[in-house]
Structure 1
């Protein structure tokens, strides 16, 4: 059965939440941008130093190290940026899942590379260490200098 038509217009659909960037988004975007710049600089310097120190194996070690550093440093920032509007439980689950995934990727990659000799292990270790420490420092800088309010204006106190 249908209701009689009284000529009234149906209620409009509720407005979708705005997807405007928040202050937290700005912090995560800065951390991601700085991490990408670090990885570019690390690639250039790592390849140059690796070539000077170990030749072609040094170049391969630097490239593999930068790749692993990108996986290790970029995944958490991207996960946080993608889940800023999610429930805290969802955000925590995604961040924990990406942390576990990146640790597994690094362990598997290092295990697969263990017996191979086409790359320089010291160059790989140095580039990977610089990438991990550098990205952690850049993340710290982005968070400590970011201005994130306790409550977003206009959200009615909901979070």
Structure 2
């Protein structure tokens, strides 16, 4: 029995939705955090909030892009190792970029640590919430099966009528 060709990967629309809404949420956090940061610590507070939101946005973008890039090999027999290699590489890149960002930003006179931290954490939490909501609303199947009456064969191996 030959295996049917796989259809298009179903996580792509979910990731695109998460990227769109994540970008909107990051912009809202940057504007609101910038206003609150400006009220607390002036221009330095505003810039700190922008930096925190920007770092969260870059990491959100890297995760989704790495999965979208890995999904290009969906029909390939080596899809699973390629997928995990690309995604793991993206995570390692994020780790290195995070350390580099912290080293570069540490001790900068314009960084207000509390404002930066709160903007970063709020942006990350908003991104996680959006990812979860996008996934729950996506109606992703848990398994790939051919039900009786659909094209193919039923459980008994006979062709449906």
Indicate the structure whose relative CO is greater, using CA pairs within 8 Å and at least 6 residues apart.
1
Q: Hey, what does 1:79 align to over in structure 2?
A: 66
Answering whether residue 125 of structure 2 is matched by residue 133 of structure 1, we say yes
1:111-130 alignment, distance < 5 Å: 111-130=103-122
TM-score scaled to structure 2, two decimals?
Answer: 0.76
TM-score scaled to structure 1, two decimals?
Answer: 0.77
**Cα separation, partners in 2 of 1:69 and 1:152, compared to 1, 3 Å:** farther
**Cα separation, partners in 2 of 1:38 and 1:21, compared to 1, 3 Å:** farther
Q: Hey, what does 2:88 align to over in structure 1?
A: 96
What is the CA–CA distance in structure 2 between the aligned matches of 1:74 and 1:21, rounded to whole Å?
22
How big is the alpha-carbon RMSD for the aligned residues of Structure 1 and Structure 2?
A: 2.3
Which protein shows a greater Rg? Answer: 1
Q: Hey, what does 1:7 align to over in structure 2?
A: none
Residues 22 and 152 of structure 1 are in contact (CA less than 8 Å); yes or no, is this contact kept in structure 2?
no
What is the CA–CA distance in structure 2 between the aligned matches of 1:82 and 1:88, rounded to whole Å?
13
* Equivalent of 1:36 in 23, 26, 41: 23
What is the CA–CA distance in structure 1 between the aligned matches of 2:85 and 2:144, rounded to whole Å?
23
CA drift of 1:22 comes to 4.1
Structure 2 residue ranges without an equivalent (≥5): 74-78, 147-151, 153-161
Q: Hey, what does 2:136 align to over in structure 1?
A: 144
Structure 1 residue ranges without an equivalent (≥5): 1-16
CA drift of 1:36 comes to 0.7
Size of the aligned set, in residue pairs, is 137
CA drift of 1:80 comes to 1.1
What is the CA–CA distance in structure 1 between the aligned matches of 2:131 and 2:145, rounded to whole Å?
22
What is the CA–CA distance in structure 2 between the aligned matches of 1:141 and 1:104, rounded to whole Å?
28
Answering whether residue 99 of structure 2 is matched by residue 110 of structure 1, we say no
